[in-house]
A and B are shown apart, each in its own frame.
Chain A
Amino acid sequence: QLQLQESGPGLVKPSETLSLTCTVSGGSISSSSYYWGWIRQPPGKGLEWIGSIYYSGSTYYNPSLKSRVTISVDTSKNQFSLKLSSVTAADTAVYYCARIRTKEVWFDPWGQGTLVTVSS
């Protein structure tokens, strides 16, 4: 059974870079049928797609975050990563990673999520 697990610091200072890694287990990240994505959810608010990556390295980013986001993949470790630069308090959220079916376009499964707080 495929599982995803987010990891990274839970506290980031304003203006610094948020870095998270998603480790995929129970299956290969190098599947042609899936993208791998990051989604976030500010406390008490809705879901926001951040960006997605294919195992080959091709990426799609939310235009509202594109200037600050970098997503990369390490197929040898079955991991993909998120970097969000110049963070502010508005970036405080639970960050989820998820597998995205390319053709039918659905997100499943999701990682358990990790809360990242931006504060000095």
Chain B
Amino acid sequence: QSALTQPASVSGSPGQSITISCTGTSSDVGSYNLVSWYQQHPGKAPKLMIYEVSKRPSGVSNRFSGSKSGNTASLTISGLQAEDEADYYCCSYAGSSTPYVFGTGTKVTVL
């Protein structure tokens, strides 16, 4: 099971919106609405931001939203803020033999 493909880096100015893609296959992203997204600041543990493609856990800003089309999931951050500068990882369920596959990670830079 290969890692899901994410762009290495995405940048934007404060207040702008950015979108991070997460491309998998018909065996993972394309088959299940079980994509989650994690934010990781340097030296810190990942934090759950989105689950089941587009649901936000309690306490996560509504500036974060998720979607999916075919084999590609996306995370959009609107009203970009300095505190959003971090690494972001997607994760998808991929079936019972290899349940979880993570994305390659995207570094978000706030200009």
Tell me the A residues contacting B by CB distance below 8 Å: 37, 39, 46-49, 52, 60, 62-63, 96, 100-101, 104-113
Given contacts A105-B100, A106-B48, A112-B45, 13 further A-B contacts (CB under 8 A): A39-B102, A46-B105, A47-B38, A47-B105, A104-B34, A104-B51, A105-B36, A105-B93, A105-B99, A106-B91, A107-B46, A108-B57, A113-B45
| B109 interfacial contact with A, CB 8 Å | no
| A46 contact set on B, CB distance < 8 A | 3, 89, 102-105
| A63 contact set on B, CB distance < 8 A | 1, 97-98
How many residue pairs, one in A and one in B, have C-beta atoms under 8 Å apart?
A: 67
| B52 interfacial contact with A, CB 8 Å | yes
User: 26 interchain pairs (CB within 8 A)?
Assistant: A37-B100, A39-B102, A46-B89, A46-B103, A46-B104, A49-B99, A49-B102, A60-B99, A63-B97, A63-B98, A96-B46, A104-B52, A104-B55, A105-B36, A105-B51, A105-B52, A106-B51, A106-B57, A107-B38, A107-B91, A107-B100, A108-B57, A109-B45, A110-B45, A110-B46, A111-B45
Digit string of B32-47 for contact with A (CB within 8 Å is 1, else 0)?
Answer: 1010101000001111
Known contacts A63-B1, A107-B38, A108-B57; A49/B101 CB under 8 A: yes
